[in-house]
Amino acid sequence: MSRSTSETVWFITGSSTGFGLCLVEQLLAMGYKVCGTLRKPELLENLRGQYPDSLITPQVDVTKPEQTRAAVEETVAKWGRIDVLANNAGYGQGGMIEDTPIEEVRAVFETNVFGALETIRAVLPTMRNQHSGVILNVSSIVGLVAYRGSGFYAATKHALEGMSESLSIEVAPWGIKVIAVEPGPFRTDFAGRSYKWPSKRMPEYEALYEVAFGIYEKMNGNQAGDPVRAVKLMIEAAESPEPPLRLPMGQFAYEEIDLYIEALNADREKWKDRLLATDYPVH
């Protein structure tokens, strides 16, 4: 982006904790203008007091599109534009594919997928009119690689990855860039408060749940990833004239992608002759 820092406007969802809060804090310290949406605006009252001219905090539940649209309108009315959307609102939903209650599956899709989609749709008219903008969709390494007990959270992030890839092509004529951010484990509250487990569980899977609980308990508060360094990289990518479509962050994510590619190619090569034989014969 060619605009100065003080003229650049960020719109961030899920600003109360984790990457969202860290982004808000870093951006304000650097001189950006920020709309930080969250369900409980009082949580950012101190920051509003410190940055009364640079921060607005509309109350938004991303599963309520009318609240998202109102926040976009408020932002444009105040500053005239939106340069970067950080689609950060979301939460983790653990559970096995067979036993997680379907209403809990639908709920995580409403927030992580449809909430993100409605926010993108609310912001895009402004970005198209500007002929510029960056959309940061905060995905996860599980947007590429799924693990036991994470299937539904992974499915929401796979959906976000697919949307990001298509969107990057569709909005390119207006100079709009799209970045799918793919963090591995970072030291936010994600493995604790922001990760939900099913309200009902089948006893047949109890051994797998015990393993999963142990992994998350051990990981919570001990993740290798530094959230401040992560959001600084997000800001750098958003400011880049040629940002990457995918931004995996942390050594774990980087190495897991290598393993994923190796496994994908191993299956493909093992079945190569039979895969290719499914085409019509060439005469």
- Contact indicator for 184, 141 with CB cutoff of 8 Å: yes
User: Which pLDDT score is estimated for 222?
Assistant: 65
pLDDT reported for residue 4: 80
Residue 80 exposed, middle or buried by CB count within 10 Å (0-12, 13-18, 19+): exposed
Global pTM value:
0.91
33 annotated active-site: no
Alpha helices, H only, 110-191: 116-130, 151-170
Q: Tell me whether residue 139 is one of the annotated catalytic residues.
A: yes
Average pLDDT of the segment spanning 104-129: 98
Identify the active-site residue in 32, 51, 153, 216. Answer: 153
- Distance in angstroms (rounded) separating the CA atoms of residues 12 and 188: 17
Q: Which of 16, 140, 157, 209 is catalytic?
A: 157
Average pLDDT (86-108) is 94
For the stretch 45-56, pLDDT in tens is 999 999 999 999
Q: What is the pLDDT of residue 191?
A: 47
**Identified catalytic residue from 16, 32, 51, 139:** 139
All domains in the chain, ordered by first residue:
5-276 (3.40.50.720)
**pLDDT (tens digit, 9 = 90+) per residue, 121-147?**
999 999 999 999 999 999 999 899 988
51 labelled catalytic: no
Rounded to an integer, the average pLDDT of 22-37 is 97
